[in-house]
Amino acid sequence: MWGGRFETGPDELFKRFNDSLRFDSVLLPFDVQGSVAWAQALRSAGVLTNDELSSLQEALHQIAEEHEEAPDRARLADDEDIHSYVERQLIERVGPLGKKLHTGRSRNDQVATDLKLYTRHAIDGWLADLLELRAALVELADRHRDLIIPGFTHLQLAQPVLFAHWCLAYVEMLERDAERLVDARKRLNRCPLGSGALAGTAYSVDRDQIASQLGFDCATRNSLDAVSDRDHVVDVLSAASICATHLSRISEDLIIYASDGFGLVTMSDAVATGSSLMPQKKNPDALELLRGKAGRIIGSLVSLLVTVKGLPMAYNKDMQEDKEPLFDAVTNLSLSLRVMKIVVDTLIVNEDRCVAMAKRGYANATDLADYLVHRGVAFRDSHDIVGRAVRGSIERGIPLEEMDLASLQRYSDVIQDDVYDWLTLDSVVSKRDVVGGTAPARVHRAIDDARTRIHTQRDQLRDCAPSGADA
């Protein structure tokens, strides 16, 4: 491909070091897409005839089809990278005409384009996976729409909340993840093709036409930037890292909730494993791996940032190191989202344990303080009074709501018989009746709202179906 200037071939070890085909062959469908558009541009610029264009396009489509059937063929070939592989395949099929396709193009603008098409396709896949996971969480919330669970701060019992409220907290996080991806997709969607090696191309191609043919919003504005920009990879790896972090947090919650001391949930057999030694064990391996994958995906982000941070303008071969972290993150985040959906779909919620634990730990102490405020005591004083009541309650081993009126009145004489209405679990959650609060009426509406948003976004995803190669 570039041997003319060289007297000998590369050292065997260096060739292995330099070649990227074993991992970049997944770019083939996108390389073909870009090449089809480039062939058309060359036709418009008068470099190719109509017949030549048709032969090239036909051969390119054939290469893509064959790759779909046997992807290992490209991966195991001896070419330097996917671009040289496709070009060699083309020449084998159409002869010398195949050598014309690279006119005015460089692998630098080619790989930048391929990678953007790939990344855009990956974003669309993630968005679909995210949507289905959010839908699963909303349905889980709805299946237990009135269940009360303990809420924690510092992993200490704090205040009771609805289980559905907990589910919807994660729906919020995952929705922000989707927003970040949509945002990254917008910034990515400018086409580098026609930027040449670094300075632009010497052929009069219509870059706006190329861009729109490949589903980009416009052409990139600066050729140096276009071939050396990997911001879109950093952008999506960063969004992917945040998303994986959210999955890791759900996992950590569920690992704790499923642990022996809590027993709030049980993992279904579909996503748990046993021990080779201890017959009684049921381990939450799916969740632990989900937590582990977050580390790996964050590693990909850091790896890329460190790779690009010291690069001089414009293309440098270091940039070939962008691919494995990206591809690995794409695979693993998608897997993670889909496995988490199975976890959510099959989660067994132990309702009795949830309610029993929600009642423990003086989770209604704040409400006793609020009751005193309602009776005219200043909150700082009521906080102190209830603190002493809790201490007494701990000493006697009786929960606040089970203390008799006389005992409660020892802490404050404003306490009347109606205090017990304030101390029930139902009262405690119902009082949080503000926007974003855990009152059942609010949470039920939040379930409906989340469902509506999911329906709308499902329609949107269907309407603007992936503009990347459907391979």
The residues annotated as belonging to the active site are 154, 275
245 binds ligand ARG (CB under 6 A): no
Q: How far apart are CA 351 and CA 263, in angstroms?
A: 10
432 binds ligand ARG (CB under 6 A): no
CB of 470 to ligand ARG, least distance (A): 23
CB of 101 to ligand ARG, least distance (A): 16
Number of residues engaging ligand ARG in binding (CB under 6 A)? 10
Per the CB < 8 A criterion, the answer to whether 414 and 377 are in contact is yes
Q: How far apart are CA 47 and CA 103, in angstroms?
A: 8
119 binds ligand ARG (CB under 6 A): no
Q: Which of 20, 33, 332, 393 binds ligand ARG (CB under 6 A)?
A: 20
Closest CA to 19 of 10, 28, 6: 10
CB of 447 to ligand ARG, least distance (A): 46
Q: How far apart are CA 181 and CA 243, in angstroms?
A: 10
**359-398: which residues touch ligand ARG (CB under 6 A)?**
none
Q: Which of 25, 33, 89, 108 binds ligand ARG (CB under 6 A)?
A: 108
220 binds ligand ARG (CB under 6 A): no
111 binds ligand ARG (CB under 6 A): yes
37 vs 111 by CB, closer to ligand ARG: 111
- Structure tokens, 209: 């036409």
Where do runs of H (alpha helix) occur along 70-158? 71-75, 82-94, 107-143
- Structure tokens, 51: 């017949």
Torsional class of 215: left (φ above 0), alpha (ψ -120 to 50), beta (otherwise): left
SS3 content of the chain, % helix, strand, coil (to 5): 70, 5, 25
- Mark 66-85 with x for binding to ligand ARG (rule: CB under 6 A) and - for no binding: ---------------x----
- Mark 290-329 with x for binding to ligand ARG (rule: CB under 6 A) and - for no binding: -------------------------x-x-xx---------
Q: Say how many residues make up the chain.
A: 471
25 binds ligand ARG (CB under 6 A): no
Backbone angles phi, psi at 214, to 5 degrees: -90, 10
> Helix 323-346 and helix 231-258: axis angle, to 10°?
30
120 binds ligand ARG (CB under 6 A): no
- Which positions lie near ligand ARG, rule CB under 6 A? 20, 24, 81, 107-108, 111, 315, 317, 319-320
